[in-house]
Chain A
Amino acid sequence: MTTQLLTYIFVGVSFALYIGIALWSKAQSTNDFYVAGKGVHPVANGMATAADWMSAASFLSMAGLIAFLGKDGSVYLMGWTGGYVLLALLLAPYLRKFGKFTVPDFIGERYYSKTARKLAVICLIFISFTYIAGQMRGVGIVFSRFLEVDINTGVIIGMAIVFFYAVLGGMKGITYTQVAQYCVLIFAYLVPAIFISILMTGNPIPQIGFGSTMVDSDIYLLDKLDQVTKDLGFTAYTENVKSNIDIFCITAALMFGTAGLPHVIVRFFTVPNVGAARQSAGYALIFIALLYTTAPAVSAFARMNLIDSIQDQPYSTSPSWFKNWEEIGLIAWQDKNMDGKIQYSAGNALEDIKPKYTNNRGDSGERAVENNPNPSNGNEIYIDRDIIVLANPEIAQLPGWVIALVAAGGLAAALSTAAGLLLVISSSISHDLLKKTYMPNITERKELKYARIAAAVAIGIAGIFGIYPPAFVAQVVAFAFGLAAATFFPALFLGIFYKRLNKEGAIAGMLCGLIFTASYIIYFKFINPEINNADYWFFGISPEGIGAIGMILNFSLALVISSLTNPPPKEVLSMVDEIRQP
């Protein structure tokens, strides 16, 4: 069977599974729709949380990013797992005890204010849509490369599937599909990693193979990789390029941002009690760690393999994956020294970085580009980092079914996260904006209907983002985490641990965190991107890490303003006492 046929079968079977689960777990009430009836087992919720959390970015992009960043890539590994410690210890059990439906719900009631609730809804919608745009791009890439359908068709198929189980099943449908999606995605991630680990180091456990010697030699893989990267003009793989303060702030922003992401927090509303919420956070992190400790091993293997398989190869005999990805436009080669061979080294090969292809072919048969060569280095290739995980099995020459499996896994990762995000968007609209603010008299049936309509509209908008991807997708990822850290985390944390915090303090803090973080990112990413470097940054902190500073400002302002204004009313104080008890 051809790889493409296998891919169709794997993807088709997994989609049929998701639809079957959706039909089986239809939501009957708002309680089902928003929080799956609060009856999800902690292990199942752990898996669902892991699938919810691990997006197309974790599955497709992260290992590739780390492969090129080396040790600097650790910020993603620590940032996106360490946040779960904060979530488990500081937020999840208490928010579960609070026992309502959404994150703005907690903020609205704890700070006895509709303004606070609306502000929370705005932050939530902004964060969630930023995130969804990335998922839809992931779906598009997988479809176009492996199923050879048009990216737009791929996005529409993906939308239809999510529409089916999110609108029908709500949180209940999403939870059980996410459990299935976790199984698909983790299997799809581990199988090629194990194969490659055996091929390169003889050890089947990637986490250990990563620190072992290469097959048929007594040189450690990482030492070899350090040597090779240095020879090509890069910083050694296991050394930092970024400054420590920047790494510190980016890690902090990602950790606190993770803990403040509404679609993750809301998963802990679905378990039966406080004890289950704590356990569930632990299981979620185990399931996540399985992928996150494998990813850096995959990165190191991939970087090594990539260099080995193309360096100084004549283009005419270069491997087929190289040409396949070139056809899609994610690899480009410009023969700077006209020797017909591929040379890879540090620096951007092309001026303007991204290739602009012409319709012509170059002397060796490559797709010609109209970019001027970048004269400051000898690097001849452009490689989009997103392809590393998808191309890795091909680079390592693994069998066709492994490649098909990876395609199904990438789709599972993208769809599960998209569904979770769509749900928090729709529930914040139907519950927080309509039921709790503008239409307090609607019945539960009506509210459920509005929730479904909101989910359908949100899917439509997400699809438009997928078909016409805004050029700024990559730039705004920093936004989602920075804003979650600078707005939600302090408001939630202080709401539980500091009784005296009142609505004036909370609102001022959130607004300040929001405005400061957003303006810093917009200034460096959009208004003056040419000065987006360490010389101009505030204390050398990049826009990716600025959320950590926004969070500190939020905390300080909230505390000062609170101490100058009236304490919160009695009911709120007793509510806080209540959520502190198990």
Chain B
Amino acid sequence: MKRKSDQYWKSNIKIVSSLLVIWFIASFGFGIVFSESLDQIKIGGFKLGFWFAQQGSIYVFVLIIFLYVWLMKRLDKKLSQEEDK
């Protein structure tokens, strides 16, 4: 039992940290640090760096949370199945 919950916690940390890497890249990376270089690329009327800073990062945030909900649901299911065994 103890081992299973440790396992669960480890997988949880892995999910959370990889999602936070995406979070960081989309906002601090594309929206701030590399924003000016991305501005060289244009999509429609948007410079790409500007688009990430004012639009794109927010869409990515929403996707991250729903990805998290889905991954955790799967993980919770796995845990409860193992407990039933």
Contact = CB atoms under 8 A, between A and B. Distances in A.
B72 A278 contact: yes
A84 interface: yes
Contact of A248 (B8, B33, B65, B79): B33
A207 B53 contact: no
A239 to B, nearest CB: 8
B65 A77 contact: no
Interface string A376-406: 0000000000000000000000000000000
Contact of A286 (B33, B57, B62, B73): B62
What does DSSP make chain B's interface, helix, strand, loop or mixed? Answer: helix
B61 A82 contact: yes
Given A89-B68, A278-B68, A238 B33 contact: no
A279 B61 contact: no
A136 B19 CA distance: 38
B61 A244 contact: no
A577 interface: yes
B69 A221 contact: no
Pick from A66, A84, A88, A247 the residue with the most CB of B within 10 Å: A88
Given A84-B61, A275-B73, A222 B28 contact: no
A582 B43 CA distance: 43
A78 B69 contact: no
Contacts of A77: 53-54, 57-58
A229 interface: no
A211 B65 contact: no
Chain A interface helix/strand/loop/mixed: helix
A296 B40 CA distance: 21
Given A84-B61, A275-B73, A278-B69, A222 B53 contact: no
Contacts of A247: 32
Contacts of B44: 211-212, 220
A278 B15 CA distance: 14
Interface string B46-68: 11001101110111011011101
Contacts of A577: 5
B41 interface: no
B43 A74 contact: no
Nearest to B73: A275
Contacts of A487: none
Contact of A78 (B27, B46, B76): B27
B70 to A, nearest CB: 10
Nearest to A201: B45
Nearest to A299: B54
A212 B3 CA distance: 56
A6 interface: no
A481 to B, nearest CB: 16
A322 interface: no
Interface residues of A, number: 47
Interface in A395-452: none
Contact of A221 (B28, B45, B50, B64): B45
Interface string B6-23: 001100100010011001
Given A78-B53, A278-B68, A89 B20 contact: yes
Contact of A279 (B36, B59, B69): B69
A74 B30 CA distance: 12
B64 A85 contact: yes
A47 to B, nearest CB: 15
B33 A244 contact: yes
Interface in A35-56: none
A296 B12 CA distance: 35
B65 A207 contact: no
A289 B61 contact: yes
Q: Which residue of A82, A278, A293 has the most chain B CB atoms within 10 A of its CB atom?
A: A82
Given A212-B45, A289-B59, A296-B55, A238 B50 contact: yes
B51 A88 contact: no
A215 B76 CA distance: 52
B53 A84 contact: no
A81 interface: yes
Given A84-B61, A279-B69, A293-B58, A74 B31 contact: yes
B82 to A, nearest CB: 13
A374 interface: no
Contacts of B61: 81-82, 84-85, 285, 289
Given A84-B65, A278-B68, A207 B55 contact: yes
Nearest to A282: B65
Given A82-B27, A251-B31, A281-B65, 13 more contacts: A74-B54, A89-B64, A207-B55, A211-B45, A211-B46, A212-B45, A213-B45, A220-B45, A244-B33, A282-B69, A285-B61, A285-B62, A577-B5
15 contacts: A78-B31, A81-B58, A89-B64, A210-B45, A210-B55, A211-B45, A212-B45, A213-B45, A220-B44, A222-B46, A244-B33, A247-B32, A251-B32, A296-B54, A581-B8
5 closest cross-chain pairs (CB), A and B: A220-B45, A74-B53, A211-B45, A282-B65, A296-B54
